[in-house]
Amino acid sequence: DSGVTQTPKHLITATGQRVTLRCSPRSGDLSVYWYQQSLDQGLQFLIQYYNGEERAKGNILERFSAQQFPDLHSELNLSSLELGDSALYFCASSVGTGEIYGYTFGSGTRLTVV
């Protein structure tokens, strides 16, 4: 157990639907990062939050949104789902930004859009 908790582990949903992925960071970590991993795209950075505020944005689609709550857990909302959104979604956390200990990743949510 890495200390980063992601739920659910698996999700199967239909095109056009909306889902919410949840992440609880490791205790004491203030930064949360969301990544999408598909077979042909590697680990794509989506968005970063630090202590409740959006800190950096990557190639996140407008259909996707995220937030970090006061208790530091984060949610990634994916709407109007398309077949191409099927992927592994990882959440990672770190104490701050740019420190030497690296990210701690959760075990991921596997999203299948049918």
Partner 1 sequence: GQQVMQIPQYQHVQEGEDFTTYCNSSTTLSNIQWYKQRPGGHPVFLIQLVKSGEVKKQKRLTFQFGEAKKNSSLHITATQTTDVGTYFCADSSNTGKLIFGQGTTLQVKP
Which tokens go with 52? 């409740």
Question: Would you give the binding string for partner 1 spanning residues 91-110, x where CB under 8 A is met?
Answer: -x-x-xxxxxxxxxxxxx--
> Scanning residues 49 to 78, which ones bind partner 1 (CB under 8 A)?
50, 55-56, 58
**17 and 81 Cβ atoms separated by less than 8 Å:** yes
Nearer to partner 1, 79 or 104 (CB): 104
Binder among 24, 36, 48, 74 for partner 1 (CB under 8 A): 48
Nearer to partner 1, 3 or 79 (CB): 3
Taking Cα atoms as reference points, which of 56, 53, 79, 84 lies closest to residue 68?
Answer: 53
DSSP secondary structure string for all residues of 49-65: EETTEEEEE-S--TTEE
Residue with tokens 């680990």: 43
Binder among 8, 15, 16, 43 for partner 1 (CB under 8 A): 43
